[in-house]
Amino acid sequence: MNDNICGKHSLSALIDEYGSSVLNTAYLYLNDKQLAEDVFQEVFLKAYLKMDTFEFRSSVKTWLIRITINQCKDAIKSAYKRKVSIGLDDIDSTSESAEQAVEEHAESQRLYNAVMSLEPKQRELILLRYYNELSLEEMASMLHISNGAVRTRLSRTTALLKNIFTE
């Protein structure tokens, strides 16, 4: 889908193209599946209602991720957080053996816990760069800071995450 969302593109086209990124970002930000699903609905409702105000200063994905993060911040402020643990039933079925699956899950859980232990602003940088694969320029635009500031903060956050993960 191209970035021209006004007029000819439907809500379902937005969800098809960007739904998994929005839902996964919300889940990683909130650590709560039900709350992430609520945010998902709110993001696409808000995006659909505001399509005519989209100014094309960024990509549609960047716009939707910014809405997602803002909705997550609102959800944290207004709702209590419930802990959601990732069960073994979430493990990818393509793993070669149960032992390998458990090891992969444990490693994935360690990384997830390390990311979740970061401050929200640091976690946001990791999600934007490594999960959503936004460029430094897109991140700078979204966060309203310079490219240099993004580079510095991302470098510090990555180093911190590496220290947490290797402890």
Residue-wise DSSP of 39-70: HHHHHHHHHHHHGGG--SSS-HHHHHHHHHHH
Q: Which structure tokens are listed for 42?
A: 């709110």
Listed as ranges, residues in the chain with pLDDT below 50 are 1-8, 79-95
Q: Which pLDDT belongs to residue 106? A: 73
Residues 127 and 29: beta-carbon distance below 8 Å: yes
Q: Which of 73, 71, 4 is nearest to 38 (CA)?
A: 71
> What's the rounded Cα separation, in Å, for the pair 125 and 153?
8
Domains of the chain listed by start with CATH number: 1-81 (1.10.1740.10), 97-167 (1.10.10.10)
Single pTM value for the model: 0.56
